[in-house]
Amino acid sequence: MGKFIFSPILSLISRRFYREMSRASLGKGVLYLLYLAFIVSLTSGVAFSFSILPKINQGAQWVRENMPPLVFTRDGVQTTVQQPFSMTHPEWGTILMVDTNRETITDEEIRQSIFYVTKTKLYAWDRTKNEHRIVDARPQPGEVSKNWQDLHVDGEVVWRFYAAIRPFANPLVFVVVFFVFFAWKIAAAFFYSLPALLINIFRKGKLAYEKLLNLCFFALTPVMFLQALKIIYPGFVLPVNFWLSFIVTCGYLAFAILATQEPDQPAPHQPCGAG
């Protein structure tokens, strides 16, 4: 059990460890990835709690204090603030603009804010993809329109909604990181099993594909450490890109497959005059 706990360290330095893993079942490699996924997910959850969540809390509090009251009626949006209204964060820029005296705006005006509310439409601007979406603010004809009740939205409503979902933030981060990391590394192991098959050609005692795939799970570890260093220290001197990852992982695969061969047994000594 102790050796398994320290498997990430042994995967970096121990030839004996790789020799043992070349004989181990495939389930041990899968269990190792699950173990790594748990560590990464737990670390991500802690980092999220201390570095990202406090900023989200501050942002939600700022919205609570600054968002104007909006009423979504059967005929469109109404508000009591002086218009056009702009809600601008000191760091994030303009988050919301409201002008219910108009029904449509130009493409240039859409880019002025993340959200823009007019009398009849909601505009959302995605700065990363340089595209926008438009939603009709009025209820569509049908049952929804017949039973429509005015919807009141303000900073307090947004805050209550945020407070209701905030307890699920950390568990959600843990679950998402766990499954994404595990699926990513499983796919990477299958990819590196191809060069492992080529390296296996040079081994005297060939390993079955199952054993090669098992070694791939452990040979991914050095790159994981490099990726973690890059996240912790963005100025890390080495660019942790595909080619560096490929070279490092294939190097460890060569070490795991070739350097763990059993040494040749010396021929039995024949005494002089035997026979």
147 within a domain of the structure (yes/no): yes
Residue the block writes with tokens 């997910």: 41
* 252 and 185 in a common domain: yes
Q: What percent of the chain has pLDDT over 70?
A: 92
Q: pLDDT of 139-162, one tens digit each?
A: 877 656 677 788 899 999 999 999
Q: pLDDT of 35-66, one tens digit each?
A: 999 999 999 999 999 989 999 999 999 999 99
Number of H helices and E strands in the chain, helices first, is 12, 8
Cβ atoms within 10 Å of 69's Cβ, excluding its own? 14
Average pLDDT over residues 234-262: 86
- pLDDT score of 198: 95
- pLDDT score of 270: 56
- pLDDT score of 266: 54
Please check the confidence at residue 269 and state whether its pLDDT lies above 70.
no
245 within a domain of the structure (yes/no): yes
* 181 and 244 in a common domain: yes
Which of 120, 153, 186 is at the close of a domain? 153
- Tokens of residue 274, six digits: 């035997």
Collect all residues with Cβ–Cβ distance below 8 Å to 149 and sequence separation of at least 6.
none
Tell me how far apart the alpha carbons of residues 242 and 140 are, in angstroms, rounded to a whole number.
49
177 within a domain of the structure (yes/no): yes
- Tokens of residue 273, six digits: 């005059």
pTM of the predicted protein model: 0.77
* 90 and 23 in a common domain: no
- Tokens of residue 169, six digits: 């933030």
What element of type H or E holds 245?
Answer: helix 242-258
* 140 and 105 in a common domain: yes
Query: Looking at the 3D structure of the chain, how many domains does it have?
Result: 2
Residue type, 248: V
**Collapsed DSSP state (helix, strand, coil) of residue 14:** coil
* 251 and 182 in a common domain: yes
Which has the higher per-residue pLDDT, 236 or 93?
93
Q: pLDDT of 85-136, one tens digit each?
A: 999 998 888 899 999 998 888 888 888 889 999 998 999 988 888 888 888 8
Containing domain of residue 189, as a range?
A: 2-51+169-258
Tell me how far apart the alpha carbons of residues 261 and 183 are, in angstroms, rounded to a whole number.
31
As a residue count, the chain comes to: 275
Please check the confidence at residue 220 and state whether its pLDDT lies above 90.
yes
- pLDDT score of 275: 45
Nearest of 14, 3, 19 to residue 215 by alpha carbon: 19
Mean model confidence pLDDT for the chain:
87
Q: In what order do the strands lie in the sheet with 121-126?
A: 85-89, 93-99, 115-118, 121-126, 131-136
Cβ atoms within 10 Å of 29's Cβ, excluding its own? 22
Please check the confidence at residue 264 and state whether its pLDDT lies above 60.
no
129 within a domain of the structure (yes/no): yes
Please check the confidence at residue 265 and state whether its pLDDT lies above 60.
no
Please check the confidence at residue 180 and state whether its pLDDT lies above 90.
yes
* 173 and 148 in a common domain: no
- Tokens of residue 88, six digits: 């601008």
Task: Report the range of poorest mean pLDDT among 12-26, 139-153, 157-171, 212-226.
Answer: 139-153
Asked if 150 contacts 75 with a C-beta cutoff of 8 angstroms, the reply is no
